[in-house]
Each structure stands twice: as structure tokens, then as C-alpha cells.
Amino acid sequence: MSIKIRNMVKGEELPNSLTVGFEKGNQPEWIWIAERDGKPVAILIAAPAHIVAMLLRVASTPEAEWSDVRTLLVNALAEIKSRGFEGYVTWIDPNGEIEKKILQIILAHGGVKLPMPMFFCIGRC
């Protein structure tokens, strides 16, 4: 079994287990998909924000292996860097098991966590 990381193609449909709403935008080049044996198993949605990229959502199917998500994250961050961005920001729920693993990946690759509680706020324009 092989894993392939690629960007989403405009108009591409994803399995329901990977759709979260953000993928309906008009920037498929900011959406990375991990495919195992030709089938999407994980997705990372990001957005450009000045000198950093915002990592908005990571989702995976039940068929995804943990290494698929790690490979997706590492490859997307390398591509973000190659696009000239200096870093990224994201939010992690410290109580979730999957989020704890993602935090370990971030810390292992030189990322830091801020030692203060924050709120995630949303709104409509």
C-alpha cells in the first residue's frame, strides 16, 4: 500500500467522512489530500494569511492509518514553506486523543504551543 499526497482539484467530490464545509471554497491549492491505494483517506485544509498559513482542519476516514495523517501534515508543511510562507498557526484541543498526537508531531518538528488558554471565535461577515 502506498500513500500519495496531492492538492484537491476544483469541483472534486470527497467522501462524506472528509467533508467539513471548508473544502467548498475557491482555493483547492490550499487543500491537501492523502490517498491510500487511490482512495482519499485524509484531508488538510489551510489558508494563506500574510507570512503564515492557517491550518484550519484535519480530517481522516476510519480506513486511514496514523502514518497517513503524519505524512499529510509533514508534506503540506513542506509545500507551504516552498510557497514562501514562514510558518503556520493552528488550534489544538488538548483533550482529544487525535489532537494530542497531532500536537506531538508539531512539537517534534520544531513547533511550539503557547502556554495560555484561548478561545476559538467565529462569525459571519
How far is 25 from 92, CA to CA, in rounded Å?
23
Q: Is residue 125 part of a domain?
A: no
Rg (CA), the chain: 14
Residue-wise pLDDT tens digits, 69-117: 889 999 999 999 999 999 999 988 878 777 888 888 888 888 898 888 7
Which residues constitute the domain of residue 8?
3-108
Q: Is residue 116 part of a domain?
A: no
- Structural domain count of the chain: 1
Q: Is residue 114 part of a domain?
A: no
Q: Is residue 117 part of a domain?
A: no
Q: Is residue 115 part of a domain?
A: no
Q: Is residue 41 part of a domain?
A: yes
Q: Is residue 101 part of a domain?
A: yes
Q: Is residue 124 part of a domain?
A: no
What's the distance, Cα to Cα, between the start and end of the chain in Å?
A: 44
Residue-wise pLDDT tens digits, 16-66: 778 776 667 778 899 999 999 989 999 999 999 999 999 988 888 888 888
Q: Residues 87-96: contacts with CB within 8 Å, 24+ apart? A: 87/51, 87/52, 87/53, 88/46, 88/52, 88/53, 88/54, 88/55, 89/49, 89/52, 89/53, 89/54, 89/55, 90/54, 90/55, 90/56, 91/118, 91/120
The CATH number of whichever domain residue 56 belongs to comes to 3.40.630.30
CA neighbor of 69 nearest in space, from 41, 31, 88, 30 = 41
